[in-house]
Chains A and B, each alone.
Chain A
Amino acid sequence: MNKAEILIIDDEPQIRKLLEIALESNDYKVLQASSGKEGLVQAATHPPELIILDLGLPDKSGHEILKALRTWYNKSILILSVQNNETDIVAALDAGATDYLTKPFRTAELLARIRAAIRRNQLPDDSPQIQSGSLQIDLIARTVKKNQMLVKLTSTEFNLLALFAKNEGRVLTHQFILKEIWGHAYYSETQYLRVFVGTLRKKIEDNPNQPAHIITESGVGYRFS
């Protein structure tokens, strides 16, 4: 099997070294860029399977690089950011980043995110059937089965679950979900989201208090896994 290629764009040599060793020992091929400009050139000449992009670059801001990449690059982009910077993270996700990690991060977490992000690239675009753990979602018949048992969902609950499932391995921001499910007018009505995520979890999670499918990203949004 070909090794998946990952491009790291980060100006800190220590972080690049750490990522290089962690990723190569897990059978990925690592490409590196120490500036945004270099990163853009590398990505264009040799499009990787995944890009890890640091938001705090010295030459151009990570947001600019992200915007430039997203004009043509449609595979996963994983953002690295510092803690307590939800506004920045939300902006990056809304500009097309797939997922994010805050420094310091644990390697196991990083590898899990990379696996999910690469799997996401390989998903067929509009498969009507989605399987995730014990969940089976049929987008055409609009049914959900958990451990082969039919789960009764309201229409909104189903739409929400379908949106999550179609975006497995990606962090969806509150605003994005609200716009997709309830429309632009509900842009800031996050209490709708909290309530429906709550009722949905009760129906599809084994333990709604320790959800395994719909994971909260505090201050940012939700991820489905």
Chain B
Amino acid sequence: MLFDILPVLFSAVLSALTWNYFFIPPRFTFHIDKAQDVLMFLLYFVIALVNAVLSFKIRKAESKARDKEEKEKTIKLYNTLLNTLSHELRTPIATIIGAIDTLQISTNKLSPLQQSELLNEMDKASVRLNRQVENLLNMSRLESGFLKIKRDWCDGNELIYAVIQKQEQVFQTRFRFEPNEKLPLFKLDSGLIEQVLQNLFHNAIQYTPHDAPIEIVIKAENLNCIITVRDHGSGFPTSELESVFEKFYRLPHSKAGGSGLGLSIVKGFVEAHEGEVLLENNPDGGAIFTLIIPAETSFISNLKNE
């Protein structure tokens, strides 16, 4: 408290002295000749002091309000987290438990087709559950602050192909990707960039029409690895372009499924490479994500092939 009030006292004394120096005769000295001027000086000091104490108190109240707001925001975020998580984790778990029960209780009443459908649902639910857990683990890696990126040389074309092949078979034909034959090798954390692409591709599949192509381009520019993912969905409302990377953010009226973690992981992992993610709407429709990842490059022609 003493240290809080000291600067206040100091500024009051200083302004009283300044006033004295410039306005109380004899001017431009700290002398005070008349008694009423002494009174004036004291009065001014008191005013300055009251002023300072008041503004100090107001500032303190403001910061308290800000803390409270911050706390409320955290609580709100925490609630969103619980809601999203319980929904996102419990839906697949409910599917799995329900399907197992049905298979156990009514084996004899189910047609082979129904049985295989139930198994198929369990399969999809477990894959979804696994993806959510993966994203949660990634998020906690980011939040912990212990995420260390391990850069090593990687072939960007190969990386993109590998992630496309990890998508469900039926969706693979939607991807349009021509390998860039002139692409140098980049020094990246291929594991993290794989997760980034996995999330972007998954999003593109989820939120765009079933036959709309997803175009991917990779190139090297000014010591950056640049990857663009362009879809032909309805794009993002302009007002939401900024917010989509926020943790647990979901577009208003967004369809079921999705934790709101995917894009914030995309941003987090790219920023871990000191890079950035740009999002814009294509004038012809659809969204364009651009990853700009600073990376050391190595051109193949530098190597002797014997």
Contact = CB atoms under 8 A, between A and B. Distances in A.
Interface of A: 83-84, 86, 104, 154-157, 174, 190-196, 198-199, 209-210, 216, 218-219
Given A84-B191, A86-B191, A218-B194, A154 B305 contact: yes
Interface string B171-202: 00000000100000100001100100000000
A209 B305 contact: no
Contacts of A210: 161, 165
A219 B190 contact: yes
A218 to B, nearest CB: 6
Contacts of B305: 154, 156-157, 195-196, 199
Contacts of A156: 305-306
B303 A192 contact: yes
Contacts of B84: none
B157 interface: yes
A194 B165 contact: no
A157 B306 CA distance: 8
Residue from A83, A156, A191, A218 with most neighbouring chain B CB atoms (10 Å): A191
**Which 9 pairs from chain A and chain B are nearest by CB?**
A191-B153, A190-B153, A191-B298, A219-B191, A209-B161, A194-B153, A191-B185, A194-B155, A195-B300
A104 B128 CA distance: 12
B146 to A, nearest CB: 13
Contacts of B158: 198, 209, 216
- Interface core residue of B153, B179, B194 (most chain A CB under 10 Å): B153
Given A104-B130, A195-B185, A84 B137 contact: yes
Nearest to B305: A154
Contacts, number: 51
Contact of A209 (B134, B137, B157, B306): B157
B303 A218 contact: no
A209 B185 contact: no
Interface in B138-167: 150, 152-155, 157-158, 161-162, 165
**Which of A155, A193, A196, A209 counts the most chain B CB atoms within 10 A?**
A209
Contact of B152 (A155, A190, A196, A216): A190
Given A154-B306, A191-B185, A196-B305, A218 B300 contact: no
Q: Is the interface of A mostly helix, strand, loop or mixed?
A: helix
Interface of B: 126, 130, 134, 137, 150, 152-155, 157-158, 161-162, 165, 179, 185, 190-191, 194, 298, 300, 303, 305-306
Nearest to B165: A210
25 contacts: A104-B130, A154-B305, A154-B306, A190-B152, A191-B185, A191-B303, A192-B303, A194-B155, A194-B185, A195-B185, A195-B300, A195-B305, A198-B300, A209-B158, A209-B161, A209-B179, A210-B161, A210-B165, A216-B158, A218-B191, A218-B194, A219-B150, A219-B152, A219-B190, A219-B191
Given A156-B306, A190-B152, A209-B157, 14 more contacts: A104-B126, A104-B130, A156-B305, A191-B153, A193-B153, A194-B154, A195-B185, A195-B300, A195-B305, A198-B155, A198-B300, A210-B165, A216-B158, A219-B190
A154 B137 CA distance: 44
Contacts of B150: 86, 219
Nearest to B163: A218
Contacts of A104: 126, 130
A218 B306 contact: no
Nearest to A156: B306
A192 B185 CA distance: 10
A104 B165 CA distance: 18
Contacts of B130: 104
Contacts of A84: 137, 191
Contacts of A157: 305
Nearest to B157: A209
Contacts of A219: 150, 152, 190-191
Nearest to B141: A84
Nearest to B187: A191
A192 B152 CA distance: 12
Contacts of B300: 195, 198
Contacts of A190: 152-153
